[in-house]
Amino acid sequence: MNRIILKLAIPNIVSNITIPLLGLVDLALMGHLGSEIYIGAIALGGVIFNFIYWGFSFLRMSTSGFTAQAFGEGNKTESITILARSLFVALLISVLILFMQSPICWASFKIIGGSAEVETLAREYFMIRVWAAPAALSLFVFSGWFLGMQNARYPMIIAISVNTANILLSLFFIYILEMKSDGVALGTVISQYVGLLIAIILFSIKYKNLLQLISKKGIMNLKILVEFFRVNSDIFIRTFCIIAVFTFFTSKSASINNTILAVNSLLIQLLLFFSFFIDGFAFAGEALVGKYVGAKEISNLKKVVKLLFYWGAGLAVTFTILYIPGINWILKLLTSQSEVIKSAQPFLVWVILVPLASFSSFIWDGIFIGATASKAMRNALLASTLLVFVPIYYFFNPTFGNHALWIGMLMFMLSRGIIQTFLYRKAILSQF
C-alpha cells in the first residue's frame, strides 16, 4: 500500500513544485526590465487570476473524487461520462469568464487598486491572459480525471510541459521580440493551450477506446447532474473560506505597516512551500479513497487513511526539524533587507509550528474529496473560519497585534483537521 501511495504522491509533488518555479522566473524576467512597474503589473494581474482559478478549482477536485469512485466500481461508462460532463461545465464557465472579462477587470482593479502606470499594464496583462481560461479550466478537469483514474504520471507530464513552455515562450517574447509584461501574459496563454493539446494526446494514447461509451443521455442525467453541482457548490464554499482567510491575513498585515506586510508575505511562503509537498499525499488520498469507496472496500479505505496520516505526520516533523535551524537562512534567500529579517524574528515560532498544525487538514481534505463527502468538508471550513479564525484574531489582536494573525492562522489549520477527524466516521464510514 505504501508503494501505491508513493506512486501517486511523488508525481503530484513534482507537479506542485513546478508552479512556484514559473512564478519566480516571471518575476525575475520583469525584475530586469529597468522598472518596478512591470513586477507590479504581473503581480496585480496574477492576483486576479489566482482568485478566478482558485475559485474554480472545484472542477479538478470533484472530477477526481467522482472518477476515482467510478474507477473503484469498475464503471468505465461513468468514468468517461464524468470527463465529458466536467469538460462541458468547464467550457460553460470559460465562455462566461470571456463574456464578462471587461466587468471582471473593472471590478478587480476597483478592489485591489494600484498606481496608474501599474494598473494600465496590469489591465493589458489581464486582457491577454484571460483568453487562456478555456484551456486552464479544461486542464483542471483532465488533471482531476487522470488522478481519479489512478494515473498521477500524466498530470505531472502536463504540469512540467506547461511550465517549461511558459518559461521558454516568456524568454522568447521578452528577449527576442522585446515585449514586456504583455509577453509574459501571451506566453501563459499559449502554454496553457500547449498543455491542453498534450492532455488530449495523452488521453488518446491510453483512453481513446472509452469515447464510444459516452452518450448525451449519460451526460445530461438529471439526478447525477444535481449531485455533481451539489458537490461542486460545497467545494466552492470550502475554497472561498480559504481564500477569505488568506485575503484577510494579507489585508490585516498591510494595515499594520509595510514592514509587517513584507514579513508576513515572506513567512506565509513557508506554509505554501510545505503545502506543495503535503498536497502530494492529499492528492494520493483523493485517488485511493475514491477508489476504495467506489469498490466498497472498507478495510483498504481504513488502511490507506492510516498510512496517509503516517506519511503526513512524518513530513510535518521533517519540515519542523528543517525549519528550526534553517528558517533564517531561508529568509536570507528570499530577501536581502535586514530590517525585514530582523522584524520577522518574533514571529518565526509560528512558522515552525505550521507543518505540525496543518498537515492533518491537508490530508483530511484529500480523503473527504475522494469520498465526495463535500458537505462535511464545507461545514468544517465554515466552522474553522467563522468560529475559530475570526474570533481568535479579534480576541488577541488588541494585545498581541501581528501575533494574533498567526495564532488565528495556526488555529484555523489545526481546527480544520480536528473537526474533520470527528466528522470522518459519520461522513465517510457510514457509506459502507
Q: Identify the residue whose cell numbers are 482593479.
A: 109
pTM: 0.86
Helix (H) or strand (E) holding 180: none
Given a cut of 80, whether residue 383 has pLDDT beyond it is yes
pLDDT in tens, 129-153: 899 999 999 999 999 999 999 999 9
d(CA 363, CA 345): 30
Q: Identify the residue whose cell numbers are 462541458.
A: 88
Q: Is 371 helix (H, G, I), strand (E, B) or coil?
A: coil
d(CA 122, CA 118): 6
Could you tell me the pLDDT band of residue 332, with boundaries at 50, 70 and 90? confident
Cell digits of residue 397: 489582536
Predicted pLDDT at 335: 67
pLDDT in tens, 204-257: 999 999 888 887 777 777 777 788 888 889 988 998 899 889 878 877 887 787
75 in the Ramachandran plot: left (φ > 0), alpha (ψ -120 to 50) or beta? beta
Predicted pLDDT at 112: 65
pLDDT in tens, 152-207: 999 999 999 998 898 899 889 888 887 777 788 888 899 999 999 999 999 999 99
d(CA 225, CA 85): 8
Could you tell me the pLDDT band of residue 25, with boundaries at 50, 70 and 90? low
Is residue 347 within 8 Å of 404, Cβ to Cβ? Answer: no
Cell digits of residue 138: 479544461
Residues composing the chain: 432
d(CA 299, CA 296): 9
Chain-centre distance for alpha carbon 367:
16
Is residue 142 within 8 Å of 159, Cβ to Cβ? Answer: no
Chain-centre distance for alpha carbon 430:
29
